[in-house]
Copies of this chain bind each other. A is one copy, B any other.
Amino acid sequence: MSARKTISIDVSTCFGKNLIKTTEFSKAGKAALKVESRIKNEVDAGRLGFWKLPFEMRLSARLKPIVEAAEAARANRDTLVIVGIGGSSLGTRMMVNALKHRYYNELPGLERGGMKIYFLENSDPDSFKELTDRLDLSHTLFNIVSKSGSTVETAAQYALVRELLMRRLPDTWKKHLLFTTDPEEGSLRKMAEEEGIAALEVPSDVGGRFSMLSAVGLFPALCLGLNVKDLLSGAADMAGRCTSGGLFKNPALTLAVIHHMADTSFNKNMAVIFPYADKLQGWAEWFCQLWAESLGKALDEKGNPAGCGTTPIKALGAIDQHSQMQLYIEGPNDKLFVFVRNEKFNDPAKFPPRTKLPAAYDYLAGHSMSELIQAEEAASRFALTKTGRMSYEIRLPGISEYTLGQLLFLGEAMTAYAGYLYGVNPFDQPGVELGKKYAYGLMGRKGYESYAAEMKKTAAADAKFII
């Protein structure tokens, strides 16, 4: 049964002349084993919130409220709008991209097999208007997703959505809202209780960017008719591979050590996430967010300067062969390449026989578009290896809930491992506070006056070079 197939990873092209020496790797492996034990202990003690999700969310007590909310949504509404940003929307986008038709919202209802889905993410007024102006509110459910309840973009979207609903549907407006937020804390939870608005939970020990397998991702998945049990099984099976075995056995540990060495021993400050399948673009986007925010840290766990973090770059094969490959192959050797290969597309798209091809393109005869994109992936990786670049390849035996579950959990686990290898806390994000304070200052929020004043003063002194 192809849906049960396991993803594999070929890391051979990380090793060789001018690349990692296997002896060096084994040496690094000793430090890595300590990190592996640490993760294992934390997992066994239940201290890693995100690691518990694939197991606990399959329990009916945990899944039931989400299933019920989704059933009610599907019975009463035909459109779902996810109001959230960053970790609150990228996981759902990843699923829609990977598992649904490319033109899903444009399909007739029966073909779609689930609710239409839209996103309100950015604090962009044009996007807000262009969506809300054409929604039939009486058939729409807004799922407001923010663990803290204080995310300013989501607050802003919600403020406008709430007013719109109250105005247009004064008697039933609350029934068009569902919050997904912390079980105890924060302003969304408080509003849910005070105003009687339905709410699902993001477990308190799971941070936003690791929350995909909680109600954050599972509720929309169910609204779209996806198989969340397979998604959770895939994640659980990958979790099982990622707590022991050391180098070359534990995939998350092995990849984390490769990324860490590529950075610290080979000065590769970028990781190009390079899937060769349109349906994996959302995964690349989601992973880049997870990696950057978890590992870009000024201080290590003890409070000493770290200043670490490689920059993840989302690419898409074969498209970026016509966009970035020139730089990748001839520019500075400052990147680690993460190829993702899809071994089985839904339809191979066979080319016509020679007699039905234009003469100039007759080399395509006997092949399929699926073979072409796979050949391009292998060829690009080979050409990069030949020019001394470091890469590895994740192989997916098709794209399904089960394989996506594996792939996403691999991303989470390797990020956690990499954090511990760098010695930083992969679960916080202290650096984003500063910008927020200045933004609140500019918006005239009480308590932030000094930030606005500082900006004003500096801006006046600095704005001298305007072309």
Contact = CB atoms under 8 A, between A and B. Distances in A.
Interface of A: 8-16, 85-87, 90, 101-103, 105-107, 121-131, 134, 149-153, 155-156, 158-160, 162-163, 166, 187, 190-191, 248-249, 251, 254, 269-270, 277-279, 288-289, 292-293, 295-299, 307-309, 311, 313-314, 316-319, 321-335, 345-349, 351-352, 356-358, 360-361, 363-364, 366-373, 375-376, 378-380, 382-384, 386-387, 429-432, 434-446, 455, 458-459, 462-467
Contacts of A369: 123-125, 128, 156, 160
A254 B467 contact: yes
14 contacts: A10-B463, A11-B465, A12-B465, A102-B126, A128-B369, A152-B376, A153-B318, A159-B364, A269-B332, A270-B311, A293-B324, A363-B444, A363-B445, A382-B438
A459 B10 CA distance: 11
Contacts of A289: 322-324
A297 to B, nearest CB: 5
Contact of A124 (B277, B363, B455): B277
Most chain B beta carbons < 10 A, residue from A11, A345, A438? A438
Contacts of A387: 434
Contact of A462 (B9, B12, B121, B458): B12
A330 B150 contact: no
A298 B330 contact: yes
A295 B346 contact: no
Given A12-B463, A13-B462, A358 B445 contact: no
Contacts of A130: 101-103
B332 A307 contact: yes
Given A375-B442, A378-B438, A191 B358 contact: yes
A341 B362 CA distance: 48
Q: Which of A269, A318, A328, A466 has the most CB of B within 10 A?
A: A318
Interchain residue pairs A-B with the least CB separation, the first 10? A296-B327, A86-B322, A309-B331, A379-B438, A125-B349, A296-B331, A187-B360, A375-B442, A289-B323, A330-B431
B278 A360 contact: no
Contact of A382 (B8, B102, B123, B455): B455
